[in-house]
Structure 1
Amino acid sequence: MKRLLIIEDEKELALSLESHFFNLEIETKISLNGEDGIKQYNEFKPDLVLLDINLPLKNGWEVCEYIRSKSETPIIMMTARDSELDEIHGLEIGADDYIIKPFSINVLSTKVKKILKLNSQTIYSYKNLIYTYRDEILKIDNERVSLSVREKDLLEYFIKNKNKPLSRSNIL
């Protein structure tokens, strides 16, 4: 199951998004401020972050820069700040996409599904290796291989970043 972290100080919006993505079988966590967002990011290890800019304690710019310094986890900034300069700044510091409030839940949902590749193939195969994302099953030469949680996370990270040079710090 894919994991989504929503860092949004408007509680009603955050709960609405959580409910919507729960129905798409995406595990979600909510943080209502930037400091908790960073803490949840480190503990929850999401596959995608929805990030507001105007947050208490640490703003979205700071949270985005922190996440980007640690990983390549996709980030969609969602904000009422609609200036072109804000959007450019968000993308320059590492956001993968930017959506302006109020937004269509269907548009956001499509962006999330695209980034998480929920509508694409759920099986990765290479030579004699087959990995099924949904069931988290690895088979080599058609024999099932038991994986720890860390091994599964690493395998998925390597598959997601195939053909990309990876630094030791990003892998760690």
Structure 2
Amino acid sequence: MKNIRIMVVDDEPEIAELLQDYLEREHYEVRMSHDGLSCLELFREYQPQLVILDLMLPGLDGMEVCRILRSESSVPIIMLSAKKSEGDKILGLGLGADDYVVKPFSPGEVVARVKAQLRRVNLLSVREQKEDVMSFPPLNIYPKAYAVTLRGEEVELTTKEFEVLRLLARHPNQVLTRQQIYDQVWGVTEYGDLNTVTIHIKRIREKIEDIPASPRYIKTVWGVGYKFGGSEG
């Protein structure tokens, strides 16, 4: 089996090398970068299947690197940071990071999160092979292309906004709790901030609903969670 390529980006060589060592023990192929600009160059050359990205980098910081990577690819991004505030975590996840790990951390924990993200991506790819378009006129969702159109016009969603919408659309009229949404979209449970789900739902509604305060598609079931109210046409 061909090795999975992982890129580790951290300006502290000791941390990067420690993660490389643990990942290579699991038979992953690993390349390292120590600043934002060289990270982007390496990413385009190496085409990794997952990126572990430090928030504090010289040159371009991790937030800007994450934004650029997400504009070019849907590859899973696990963000590392010494910042523990919920605001930083929500900002990182809002820019498209798939997971957020606070330093100091256990290398084994990071490896476990890598495996969880890769399992999620594999599951999504299997599902997408069976779907070309999910149509809820006038809304169309294209799972393989990570694209959404509304009345023929493309709707710009972040990767995580798209994955939340797709998850709900795959279960029309079924109520999903915030915890269920977080688990399936972000791929971790015990460290999750459920307010992240609320923020993403609000942003999606602003982009696809004619009247966000009275949504047609994503409905709130008070005290329980959310459900997708459309039916495929």
**Same fold by TM-score greater than 0.5:** yes
SS in 1 for 2:27: coil
Map of 2:88 onto structure 1: 86
Map of 2:145 onto structure 1: 166
- Matched ranges for 1:10-89 at <5 A: 10-89=12-91
Bigger radius of gyration: 2
CA change 1:112–1:158 in 2 (3 A) is: closer
1:33–1:55: 8 Å Cα contact kept in structure 2? yes
Question: Taking every aligned residue pair, what percent have the same amino acid on both sides?
Answer: 36
CA change 1:161–1:55 in 2 (3 A) is: farther
- Matched ranges for 1:110-121 at <5 A: 110-117=112-119
2:70–2:96: 8 Å Cα contact kept in structure 1? yes
1:5–1:41: 8 Å Cα contact kept in structure 2? yes
Residue number among 1, 4, 9 corresponding to 1:2 in the alignment: 4
- Matched ranges for 1:133-172 at <5 A: 159=126, 161-162=128-129, 163=131, 164-166=143-145
CA change 1:49–1:160 in 2 (3 A) is: farther
CA distance in 2, matches of 1:160, 1:10: 38
CA distance in 2, matches of 1:44, 1:116: 17
Deviations 1:50-79 (A, max 9, x none): 000110011001100001000100000011
CA distance in 2, matches of 1:87, 1:71: 21
Structure 1-normalised TM-score?
0.71
Q: CA deviation at 1:159?
A: 4.6
Structure 1 gap ranges (5+):
125-156
Moved over 2 A (4+): 157-163
- Number of equivalenced pairs: 132
CA change 1:108–1:167 in 2 (3 A) is: closer
Q: CA deviation at 1:107?
A: 1.4
- Matched ranges for 1:89-100 at <5 A: 89-100=91-102
SS in 2 for 1:51: strand
Map of 2:165 onto structure 1: none
1:76–1:99: 8 Å Cα contact kept in structure 2? yes
1:2–1:116: 8 Å Cα contact kept in structure 2? no
Q: CA deviation at 1:81?
A: 0.9
2:55–2:81: 8 Å Cα contact kept in structure 1? yes
Q: CA deviation at 1:117?
A: 2.5
Map of 1:104 onto structure 2: 106
